[in-house]
Chains A and B, each alone.
Chain A
Amino acid sequence: MEAAVFILSLVDCCALIFLSVYFIITLSDLECDYINARACCSKLNKWVIPEMIGQCLSTMLMLVSMHWFIFLLNLPVAAWNIYRYAKVPMGNMGVFDPTEIHNRGQLKSHMKEAMIKLGYHLLCFFIYLYSMILALIND
């Protein structure tokens, strides 16, 4: 059971890592002017909700399986994802707005956020891996 939870988390985490990398690549494409803001934002906005769901999923898994430490580790990121999504103004086209992304250093902060998330997911990945192996051994 324990192992199953962690295997699931591991898969989820992998998906999130890929998503982070995708975010970083797309944003740096925009930075280098390979794609235009409109295309970039519509690409990224599509994945905001999946990312949120993925993050919440692993948080819930940890809560249900009562791994408190990992749950607390996951909680802030999940909360941030939800907050970020919820606070988008009505007139904006999503978390990433093509008319805003070049203003006020938004591109840079999005980039930084994606980087931090990548690091965080990598950390989680190893924690899950370790916990999974531990669980498998204990079984």
Chain B
Amino acid sequence: MSTAGFNSQNGTGTGQTYTNGPSQNPVSLQQLPGVSYGMTHQSTFNPMQAKASVASGPGLYSSGPYQPIPPVSSYQSVPPPSSFPALPGQPLLTSPPMGGPPSHTPPLSASPSPGPRLTSAQAMPPPPAVSTGNYYASPQQPMATAWQYNTPPLQMGPPTSMSTPPSATVANHVNPALGSTVPPPPQTSSAAYGSAPVLHSVTHPPVPGMPPTSLHGYTQPGIAPPPVNPILSHGYQPNRALYGAPPTGPPPTGPLPSMKSTPPPTGPPLANAPPPPPKADAQCGGSVNSSQLPTESDSQEGDIECPGMVAGNGLQASSNYNHVDNKTAGRPQPGSPGQHLGHYPSLPPGYQNAPSAHNATSPMHPALQSTTQPYAQTPQPYQQPPGGPGPAQLSPSLAAMSLQSSTPEALRVVNLLQERNLLPPTPIPAPMPCLPQDLQKVNCNPEVFRCTLTSIPQTQSLLNKAKMPLGLLLHPFKDLSQLPVVTSSTIVRCRSCRTYINPFVSFLDQRRWKCNLCYRVNDVPEEFMYNPVSRAYGEPHKRPEVQNATIEFIAPSEYMLRPPQPAVYLFVLDVSHNAVETGYLNVFCQSLLDNINALPGDSRTKVGFITFDSTIHFYNLQEGLSQPQMLIVSDIEDIFLPTPDSLLVNLNECKELVQDLLKNLPNLFQKTMETQSALGSALQAAFKLLSPTGGRMSVFQTQLPNLGVGALQSREDPNQRASAKDIQHLSPATDFYKKLALDCSGQQVAVDLFLLSAQYCDLASLGCISRYSAGSVYYYPSYHHQHNPAQVERFQKDLKRYLTRKIGFEAVMRIRCTKGLSIHTFHGNFFVRSTDLLSLPNVNPDAGFAVQMSIEENLDDMQVVSFQAALLYTSSKGERRIRVHTLCLPVVNSLSDIFAGADVQAITGLLACMAVDRSVTASLSDARDAMTNAAIDSLASYRQSVLTIQQPGLLAPACLRLFPLYILALLKQKAFRTGTSTRLDDRVFAMCQLKYQPLAYAMLMIHPALYRVDDLTDEGALNINERTIPQPRVLQLSVEKLNREGAFLMDTGMIMYLWVGRNCNPNFLTQVLGVPSYTAVPDNLYLLPDLDTAESQRTRAFIGWLRDQRPFSPTLHIIKDESQLKSSFMQNMIEDRTEAALSYYEFLLHLQQQISK
């Protein structure tokens, strides 16, 4: 089928135009006449700065050679129409030229993969006998279910957006009359720079000055907004008109989720499903299966709408977490577990060997192998082997035996009370899903896309039985060292669910592919037949899109509603007395001056500045002025922009003025005595300034806003900081910031908040502004330029990263999953615009996301399910790009397999997110109970349903052996701890971090890593870039592991502590710290001296390596026994008992007691 044919089909589809593309920003679905694809700006894509290792990747954003515009158009006319230019010997291609099947190595090989955990034969679904026990043991809570969307919701006809139509936007932008005529002139005053302080005070009372329009002419020279320069791209997009049709076409005829059934197994549909769960949808599923023949026809006609199923299932499905919570009420709280020590005498050592006895039983049942083998061999793994899952037909006894025989390492039974050293010496890799080799090879990097259960349960009831949360953790915009970029005029997507083509689709033949999310059969467009990598025709399955689970597309103009916005940065700075006192302005201005050329952007980049105390100060930076003009608006109740179009200026054209301003700004307010802060009005002003274009607003705030709109009161009672009772005021005090954030989100403005404060600032309320506008929050408690140099250093480094990191504007992310799964809760900073669409005004590489899922429809006849996260964004160079990640996971039908696939870190991360939500909506103690119960329930479920031989002790599968430790760590985390004095802002910030940080960094926050560093050796060291990096083992977080003779490094993510023991090896003191003796170690040491000794080099190499692994820069504190920070160091010793919390062993006993109840 020709490309045109494909397109026209797409346009005139049967109402199923799930026009995801154009409507990803569904402002209004008709295209702007002047929509231009800013090809002129896309010569280079900004390489990722900050990370050296990243920058070295050969295929790094190889946008240059991938998208020369002339080739694009020329390719269009040639039969092989792709524009993925296959330059011979192109080093930038990330996939090697794919001559034949054996050579298709995935580019994402950077992850520390431990190798396949086990062969697929071992891990294939063991018989279900074990799981036929009791399901639905406890009451379900239908409230907790997800909404019943089984298909990605339709994006359709009616303009459904919160953003104003672009036409209005444009008008607003080019027409400055609004701002200049409305404001009453007397309130605007202009102050020349040199005499600013004087004039400042003089002009505070309303001075009948000139109207602002006269301050400068409205020439608007170079800062013409993007809408007015329509760059033609019609030649480039010959079929644009065709594509444009779907949005304006008739909207779909209703909420028709096309439930296309999959080819049913040949047997009776339910016969081989193991424990028939209470099927509300039985009649429905049955009818689907029976009414459709297992043909591969284009089955649009076969779509069956089945609302009954949806409703029925919805009532039953229940999230694990809430389930957990039901128990909270019923279960009496135990007394101090210490009392129970006597009840659990330690086991005779013989018990420890019990698990190995399991392994001696019968060999694997042949049926198991027979089912797995065709699976592994067929190139199209989605085709069900006839007869359905074989193990289900085994007799229970046989099944049980074969289960034991194939116990994988992940299921090895561990008695937590007996085995002490469970912590592996190295960081824990993510478990590998049990997929056939060829799928596993191309699967998404777990650092980017990770699921709590690497084996997805077949039914919701099975998931409920496992008592573990099902969810995804994403880091979609992570800086990647290798990322294939594809320029193509048609991006191949499923016509029904709009899934992007990915490695897990199956090609029925050369011309048709079957979507792995909705199982619709689609045509392969003509253009896709040509493989630009191998320059071969007729190999659609070798295209880079089908070879890489992570890929980036340069989006054609259908994916934009308005011309891509320029990079716009607005800085909103607190200049009250308090702010000046902290001295942050110097650091900020210096950092920005240093990095002003490294700000991501192109020739259209704009910057602007607003400062505020009790009034709002704007800075006119228009080209042609000799120095910046400060315009003071004192009417904070009804804020307006004095000169709307000269406040945001083109950085390139006005760089000198900007630099001038930055140099003068710190001195300008040196003597201010203004203590009040009108943050709310400043934010409103900034929003007005940015709303025509969208962009990034960076707000620096040092105190509680106490004037005008959005004023807050101090809610913290310092006496309650250590209270063991419930912590109040974790939720916002006003909805002002939330509303403003939603307004910002609608106008593609993200707000990043830097909070530098010694006092309470009500981060719970202020944080909303960033949370719902997809910004990020930085918090520097007790920031002071003299008293707290460590914070200053951190602020500097964070700022550098913040200013120079990659950024994506006007982004949306959609997360799709295979039919039957649905997302019901989202965690992270964004606004959920519709059921699976996240609105992200800005996206940055340090943002993580999490979602919780439920199984709405049984996944009976599926071997694998897939998840796809597609992030559509505008790069800082003005290109529209789509980054697509696809993850594929196996479906299993027995509890033991679910446990074998549990990813303990991901579960902990997701539980932390859920607990944050719970603390805000319910209470902190509720959240703590829920976390404890999560551990109790999953281990109890493991004990009851999976273990065949009951033995005393607290038993856990090897893959979950760290689960109780992590839960305990969460309970002792700043966010959730009770009884230890914690400032409210610290707590709220920790909660923000847990929700917002990608899993790898959140895990360090939860469970810090402890290393002994006084005896580093080169043994087992890594060698990276000619540097030898020693690899000390990770120690347990217990004082028992500390040693007065040693020095220990604790890495908590944001902060590193180097604790030096009193009798520390003098060699370490002199060679590394450069001091003669322990007493000579200074109190406030934040840097390791640069000594030329082997020990010093090793230590610095190690710390440097740890720092390089994360995008932010942790500060190092060198502490001694007397140091103030000793207590915060010791608070991280989570395995030890504290006054307020249990030790690890006590916690285990508590769990055991609850489980055996």
Contacts and interface: CB of A to CB of B under 8 A. Distances in A.
A39 interface: yes
B926 to A, nearest CB: 14
Interface stretch (B332-340, B536-544, B824-832, B1141-1149): B824-832
Nearest to B837: A33
B156 A34 contact: yes
B61 interface: no
Contacts of B638: none
B9 interface: no
Nearest to B854: A105
A138 to B, nearest CB: 44
A38 interface: yes
A102 B835 CA distance: 6
A99 B148 contact: no
B55 interface: no
B660 to A, nearest CB: 41
A34 B158 contact: yes
B733 A90 contact: yes
A117 interface: no
Please indicate which of the listed interface residues A32, A98, A107 has the most CB atoms of chain B within 10 Å of its own CB: A32
Interface in B950-969: none
A89 B143 CA distance: 19
B742 interface: yes
Given A31-B255, A103-B832, A91 B160 contact: no
B294 to A, nearest CB: 31
Nearest to B772: A99
B162 A39 contact: yes
Given A31-B147, A31-B255, A33-B160, A105 B824 contact: yes
Contacts of B149: 31
A28 B147 CA distance: 11
B96 to A, nearest CB: 42
Contacts of A38: 162, 742, 746
Contacts of B746: 38
Chain B contact surface mostly: loop
B145 A33 contact: no
Contact of A91 (B254, B735, B826, B832): B735
Interface in B136-188: 143-149, 153-158, 160-162
Given A92-B735, A104-B825, A108-B148, A32 B153 contact: yes
B730 to A, nearest CB: 10
Interface string A33-55: 11111110000000000000000
A102 B921 CA distance: 15
B739 interface: yes
Contacts of B765: 91
Contacts of A93: 735, 738-739
B734 A105 contact: no
B834 interface: yes
A33 B19 CA distance: 12
A15 B909 CA distance: 47
A65 interface: no
Nearest to B152: A33
Contacts of B735: 90-93
Contact of B731 (A30, A39, A90): A90
Interface string A84-126: 0000011111000011001111011100000000000000000
A91 B733 contact: yes
Given A32-B154, A38-B746, A89 B162 contact: no
B738 A105 contact: no
A54 B647 CA distance: 50
Interface size class of B (residues with CB under 8 A): 35 or more
A36 B161 contact: yes
A32 to B, nearest CB: 4
B1155 to A, nearest CB: 28
A78 to B, nearest CB: 22
A132 to B, nearest CB: 35
B145 A34 contact: no
Contacts of B832: 37, 99, 102-103
A89 B730 CA distance: 11
Given A93-B739, A98-B742, A102-B834, A33 B826 contact: no
Please indicate which of the listed interface residues A38, A104, A109 has the most CB atoms of chain B within 10 Å of its own CB: A104
Contacts of B835: 31, 33, 102
Interface string B16-42: 000000000000000000000000000
Nearest to B255: A32
A103 B742 contact: no
B161 A91 contact: no
A109 B143 contact: yes
B734 A91 contact: yes
Contacts of A39: 162
A112 to B, nearest CB: 8
Contacts of B690: none
B738 A99 contact: yes
Given A31-B255, A32-B254, A99 B831 contact: yes
A61 B958 CA distance: 66
Contact of A99 (B314, B742, B764, B824): B742
A108 B732 contact: no
B851 to A, nearest CB: 10
Interface string B462-478: 00000000000000000
Contacts of B917: 103-104
A34 B255 CA distance: 10
A36 B147 contact: no
A91 B742 CA distance: 13
Interface string A53-78: 00000000000000000000000000
B785 interface: no
Please indicate which of the listed interface residues B733, B735, B833, B921 has the most CB atoms of chain A within 10 Å of its own CB: B735
B567 interface: no
B255 A28 contact: yes
B682 interface: no
B162 A105 contact: no
Nearest to B254: A32
B768 interface: yes
Nearest to B321: A104
A126 B832 CA distance: 41
Contacts of B144: 104-105
Please indicate which of the listed interface residues B149, B732, B834 has the most CB atoms of chain A within 10 Å of its own CB: B834
Nearest to B153: A33
Contact of B833 (A37, A89, A103): A37
Interface string B892-933: 000000000000000000000000010001000000000000
B742 A35 contact: no
Contacts of A104: 144, 319, 824-825, 917
A61 B562 CA distance: 56
Nearest to B148: A108
Please indicate which of the listed interface residues B155, B157, B158, B254 has the most CB atoms of chain A within 10 Å of its own CB: B158
A33 B314 contact: no
Contact of A36 (B154, B254, B733, B834): B834
Contacts of B732: 89-91
A99 B917 CA distance: 13
A93 B154 CA distance: 26
A30 B147 CA distance: 12
Contacts of B148: 108
Nearest to A108: B147
Nearest 5 interchain pairs by C-beta: A91-B732, A102-B832, A32-B255, A33-B834, A108-B147
27 contacts: A31-B149, A31-B835, A32-B153, A32-B154, A32-B156, A33-B155, A33-B834, A33-B835, A34-B158, A36-B833, A37-B834, A38-B746, A89-B732, A90-B734, A91-B738, A92-B738, A102-B834, A103-B826, A103-B832, A103-B917, A104-B144, A104-B319, A105-B144, A105-B146, A107-B147, A108-B147, A109-B143
Interface of A: 28, 30-39, 89-93, 98-99, 102-105, 107-109
Given A31-B153, A105-B145, 11 more contacts: A33-B834, A35-B158, A35-B160, A36-B834, A38-B162, A38-B742, A89-B732, A99-B831, A103-B832, A105-B143, A108-B314
